[in-house]
Structure 1
């Protein structure tokens, strides 16, 4: 008690961010009260604070300034976002090689690419709900650890079914980190900079994409990486899977050691003193070497009930307690689809489904499609050889396949730069609708063209334009819902998107050999539909977070 009570003022003046500012135990509401609310030195301060000015969340964020803290936050959250991209996309790069060792048909490859999305669907809402109830930081640490740990273990799986299971569990971790990262990040941002900064955070997906493609290019073609242990034949593609898990594990460590809890969440949970400590850390880092003193102020906190977690532990039949827990867990979804949020929730549900089916359905199969056009022609004109025969031949995959994947990944850069420059002035709604429509056209032309070079160019156009849609959706999604629903809503919609991604990958796996035109044209149609529906969203340009 003495360490947190009598030395708290000295600790609060530290210019460095460490995990001591918000220890994991602080995330538990009961322990938070013990540590910060009941220590003797707080009595005089609390008595004086009643006469201080009390600031809203937006005013407190402005008071804390903008600077070094926010750039550090961008790097840490961005690396976590990049780690998710690496973990998701690494499967697409191992398909041309791993299918030989694991004896996969095209349908099996569709199941493999779908497995991580199935895990993301399961984990998305669950982690989002926990983040809205227990805090963003703790959920990020746990979900990123699950992601990296099981992703690495998958590299040691000698059988396809075990590899599939471990990728599924890894996907549960990814499902938590993606929506929570954007909620967490947005709740530190000043209103006028939020759109550009969230767009900058979204660009780290491109960094992860490029990292995965670069690692695949450097590692998978190597033939010196090979040894056998029992039924396990460890080859270069398995080393690639191990390397892809490193970003997630290092991201979890960075959040655990460096980052504080979201001040917006703390205010909504009526944990004023903890929120003020976070604002103090932000101020001292942002005003480093400027010689300014942290202004004393109080906060207009929320009135969220803190004892609600005890309701599920009352006496009664087990079935009744389970029903109570289930009802409480589904309450955010009910709120999302009640007035006045119903219309925007329905529109976002349609958009997430369309863009996820289109983007992941096509993107996860790019390396395989490039492998099929190496001899010339379009992706859908060189599929006469049955998948089983391809597996039996097991011919080495040309290095050019991974080089082309790297080029397509790098083509995200112009779209990301464009989004950062125009987001705050144009607004997410306009960018979202326009980019989805252009993406639809580029996919249609991929089906029409007849040469490898044309296919590569249009794939790059699709990559550069579709990333604008994702960046805009990240901004719009965080601004359309209040704090107590934000992570739950994003978790729910990303979960719905995972259903679409699973469907898209299964459809590609079933039809890429027999009727390639169907999935490609379906992707084009869904992206067009998503772009038109996006026009129904409200404009959220530079809006205040509620």
Structure 2
């Protein structure tokens, strides 16, 4: 028997071979950062900006469209509630769909369809059509909210990933700063003397402009590649490597050489595909069910309940009361508050607030005022419907948006300081939000607050609730083990959006009859949530053994932690 001895490799030859084989993260970092990375960042930031537009746009459309569409306060509440209901329905949906059909494809498709529906709303003349369209908007916009961070993470290396994610996250709150400025320019715009098939109203133009970011981001994403991580995870390593090589060429120039020639598989879905035992979707679904059983087990039931409650309370303010801030500020500029200075309230109104004044009597007494008239059930339907919005409403919106942007930057710094700091910051945000809600109920609703106080309370409510949501997600990730983090955020999103639905419905029903009631209720929930936040125990850091079994890897990767958004 003859034995053949392989020639020994020189150290340089061994080093070259090691450079040709790498795991996904190493290969992505080797592709560098440059033109492609900036393009992906801009596309994802614009896509997430579109989600902010969808969340904020109706805050200025509904006050401007109330005359033409003859909207009652209750109907306006239903429109806001419809949008949040669509978000509730899609809380668990888009992550798995994007995993099956491709993240880029789903992102681009949903952005384009969502923007088309928003553009079509600029032609709507029936409130019921608007209600249905907003439901679809809420459902579709859940895809960018869920997938944009995952897609960005799959195309940007770990060295700059967190910075890119922070910039993308800020684009959401930037919408709350930019939209009031656009509304200030567009909504007061009038076209008198024109007779057309479809009446030209400024709010219709505002909606049409709001659809532009979605169209731009959807088209932009069509020219970007699919997630190479998704390719690698589904036994398509050759395609993944080609995409990463293309990223390297775009970032470093067409003449740059990409030395890595093979990717090491990291994800369990590879083996599932080869064995044919079960599909990728089924494996993910089974893993989610296992995680859900652990989430509601005795070990985590109390902690999970506390976390879901604080999400419900915070988003009841952030995606409930915040939608009504422009309308509330508009009412403080109207005839009821002005008349309340010298006209005593009727007995039944004293039980509630100035919003229950006998409107027709006030209108006859104070008909010299040029500010809009309100009706207890209809926004502005009396003999003459005045749709003029005071400029101070728009300037107040700009101040509120600026506070949100500054608060978001502060949250990014606080979130990097560990779980204890995040918990304290989340509790402070909840306290500020509760105080602002109480201020709006006690002073603004009763027409007893000057304009600067109303704007300050609105800014505090908006900034504290939206940025508190970011901190609560970070708190959840510190409180639950990594295996349950993704599922926990998805459940938090579901319950939080449910809180937004309930809050919007409550404001729509009660605003004309007892303005303080929904604000006091949300303030009470937020006050309770402070105690809940402080009761949540954080997970202690544990040293992970280097040796892991195959089942351990399965349990780690099946969760939804890579299919969620850190901003909702």
- TM-score, normalised via structure 1 length: 0.76
Q: Which residue of 2 aligns with 1:237?
A: 203
Q: Could you list the runs of 5+ residues in structure 2 that have no partner in the other structure?
A: 1-15, 341-351, 360-374, 444-448, 545-555, 558-568
- For 1:502 and 1:347, locate their aligned partners in 2 and report how far apart those are by CA, in whole Å: 20
- For 1:187 and 1:540, locate their aligned partners in 2 and report how far apart those are by CA, in whole Å: 28
Q: Which residue of 2 aligns with 1:465?
A: 464
1:85 maps onto 2:44 in alignment:
no
Larger Rg computed on CA atoms = 2
Q: Which residue of 2 aligns with 1:337?
A: 292
1:119 maps onto 2:72 in alignment:
no
Larger CA deviation: 274-283 vs 197-206: 274-283
Aligned length: 481
SS at match of 1:411: helix
**Does the 8 Å CA contact 2:310/2:533 hold for their aligned counterparts?**
yes
Once the two structures are TM-superposed, the CA of residue 118 in structure 1 deviates from its matched residue by 1.6
- For 1:382 and 1:204, locate their aligned partners in 2 and report how far apart those are by CA, in whole Å: 38
The Cα offsets for residues 208-227 of structure 1, whole Å up to 9 and x where unpaired, read as 22222122111111111786
**Does the 8 Å CA contact 2:311/2:493 hold for their aligned counterparts?**
yes
SS at match of 2:503: helix
Q: Which residue of 1 aligns with 2:389?
A: 397
The Cα offsets for residues 408-457 of structure 1, whole Å up to 9 and x where unpaired, read as 12221211222334433346843444433332333333334422211111
- For 2:293 and 2:59, locate their aligned partners in 1 and report how far apart those are by CA, in whole Å: 39
What does 1:314-393 align with in structure 2 at a 5 Å threshold? 331=286, 333-339=288-294, 343=300, 346=305, 348-375=307-334, 381-384=353-356, 385=359, 386-388=375-377, 390-393=379-382
What does 1:100-499 align with in structure 2 at a 5 Å threshold? 100-191=67-158, 193-224=160-191, 232-258=198-224, 260-287=225-252, 293-304=258-269, 305-306=272-273, 331=286, 333-339=288-294, 343=300, 346=305, 348-375=307-334, 381-384=353-356, 385=359, 386-388=375-377, 390-393=379-382, 394-395=385-386, 396-426=388-418, 429-430=422-423, 431-449=425-443, 450-473=449-472, 486=486, 493-499=492-498
**Does the 8 Å CA contact 1:351/1:533 hold for their aligned counterparts?**
yes
**Does the 8 Å CA contact 2:98/2:106 hold for their aligned counterparts?**
yes
Q: Could you list the runs of 5+ residues in structure 1 that have no partner in the other structure?
A: 1-48, 313-324
- For 2:129 and 2:212, locate their aligned partners in 1 and report how far apart those are by CA, in whole Å: 21
**Does the 8 Å CA contact 1:119/1:172 hold for their aligned counterparts?**
yes
Once the two structures are TM-superposed, the CA of residue 350 in structure 1 deviates from its matched residue by 3.0
- For 2:438 and 2:276, locate their aligned partners in 1 and report how far apart those are by CA, in whole Å: 51
Once the two structures are TM-superposed, the CA of residue 138 in structure 1 deviates from its matched residue by 1.4
- For 2:155 and 2:127, locate their aligned partners in 1 and report how far apart those are by CA, in whole Å: 43
SS at match of 1:365: helix
- TM-score, normalised via structure 2 length: 0.74
The Cα offsets for residues 287-307 of structure 1, whole Å up to 9 and x where unpaired, read as 459967544442233231348
SS at match of 2:188: coil
The Cα offsets for residues 482-522 of structure 1, whole Å up to 9 and x where unpaired, read as 79995x77555434333221111000011112222221122
SS at match of 1:93: helix
Once the two structures are TM-superposed, the CA of residue 263 in structure 1 deviates from its matched residue by 3.4
Once the two structures are TM-superposed, the CA of residue 159 in structure 1 deviates from its matched residue by 0.9
Q: CA RMSD in A?
A: 3.8
Taking structure 1 as reference, are residues 307 and 481 closer, same or farther at Cα in structure 2, changes over 3 Å only? farther
**Does the 8 Å CA contact 2:231/2:237 hold for their aligned counterparts?**
yes
Q: Which residue of 1 aligns with 2:519?
A: 520
**Does the 8 Å CA contact 2:73/2:379 hold for their aligned counterparts?**
no
Once the two structures are TM-superposed, the CA of residue 341 in structure 1 deviates from its matched residue by 8.5
Taking structure 1 as reference, are residues 244 and 435 closer, same or farther at Cα in structure 2, changes over 3 Å only? same
Taking structure 1 as reference, are residues 374 and 72 closer, same or farther at Cα in structure 2, changes over 3 Å only? same
Taking structure 1 as reference, are residues 99 and 126 closer, same or farther at Cα in structure 2, changes over 3 Å only? same
Q: Which residue of 1 aligns with 2:347?
A: none
Taking structure 1 as reference, are residues 168 and 87 closer, same or farther at Cα in structure 2, changes over 3 Å only? same
- For 2:70 and 2:178, locate their aligned partners in 1 and report how far apart those are by CA, in whole Å: 27
